[in-house]
Amino acid sequence: MIAIAILLVVAGVSAFIAVYRARAPRTVADVLAKYGPDARARLKPFFDRAKVQYPSKRLALLVFKQEKRVAVWADGHYIRAYPILAASGHAGPKLREGDYQVPEGLYRIEWLNPNSSYHLSMRVSYPNAFDRRMAVRENRTRLGGDIFMHGNAVSIGCVAIGDRAIEELFTLVAETGTSRTKLIIAPNDLRARGAVLYEGAPLWIAELYRTIAAALTEFPLWMESDSTIGVRGMSKVAPR
């Protein structure tokens, strides 16, 4: 009887631990342990082609809203691009809460969210200093926030790139470091042509687009157009 009682207690404790683990929030380390090996293996051909060591010392994510793509650069070399599967709004910066706009400007990844409703996500540092300064100029107060790059293929004001893509970028940013990751969000690829403007754009938008265009000069467009690249940076090196 004692042995049976001990077995029941052990079984109960094991069940409790299993339930707790299932419900406990996962950590960035948990995500890297689960998805990291496959994500690194998928990224390796691209880093090898660019002759860049993984993880890199510097990382840049270039988001082009009209072209619906995210170009990844590491240590000054083009790595690969991902399609944007969903992003609401139109050309132009985010101005207020509830306008469903994806921001435009020079940002960074503030932190990584391993418990996103959209598989995984990375928080964008909107609003930045420029956003706040323009808001003060125009007496705007409710600027909104909680803008993410995430998995899945649905979005309201965020950038959705699919689950496999966010696993790769989440892993890459985590192992490179958020403090060493740049994020540039542009209305369109300003290296190729002028900005896509829209009716009613704020008067200061020309200043914003000059700033974005200047930041993009660090990443030459021709480096994204070699023979291994499909349509505007969509790599054919490895199937996804």
The type of residue at 155 is: S
pLDDT attached to residue 197: 81
Picking from 69-83, 90-104, 128-142, 193-207, which range would have the lowest pLDDT averaged per residue? 193-207
Say if 117 falls within a structural domain.
yes
Residue keyed to tokens 């988001």:
63
Beta bridge partners of 112: 122
CATH number at residue 130: 2.40.440.10
* Whether 26 contacts 115, CB under 8 Å: yes
* Whether 183 contacts 108, CB under 8 Å: yes
Say if 183 falls within a structural domain.
yes
Say if 133 falls within a structural domain.
yes
Say if 112 falls within a structural domain.
yes
Say if 39 falls within a structural domain.
yes
Handedness of CA 107, 159, 147, 178 (dihedral sign): negative
Residue 8 pLDDT grade (very low, low, confident, very high; cuts 50, 70, 90)? very low
Does residue 14 surpass a pLDDT of 70?
no
Say if 4 falls within a structural domain.
no
Q: How many domains are there within the chain?
A: 1
pLDDT attached to residue 16: 37
- Residue 104 is given by DSSP the state -
- Decide: helix, strand or coil at residue 27: coil
Euclidean distance between CA atoms 100 and 155, whole angstroms:
9
Q: In angstroms, what CA-CA distances link 124 with 1, 39, 46, 137?
A: 59, 22, 25, 23
Euclidean distance between CA atoms 197 and 152, whole angstroms:
29
Extract the tokens encoding 219. 């990443």
Residue 23 pLDDT grade (very low, low, confident, very high; cuts 50, 70, 90)? low
Say if 3 falls within a structural domain.
no
Residue 198 pLDDT grade (very low, low, confident, very high; cuts 50, 70, 90)? confident
The type of residue at 158 is: C
Say if 119 falls within a structural domain.
yes
* Residue 171 belongs to domain spanning: 26-233
Residue 3 or residue 160, greater confidence: 160
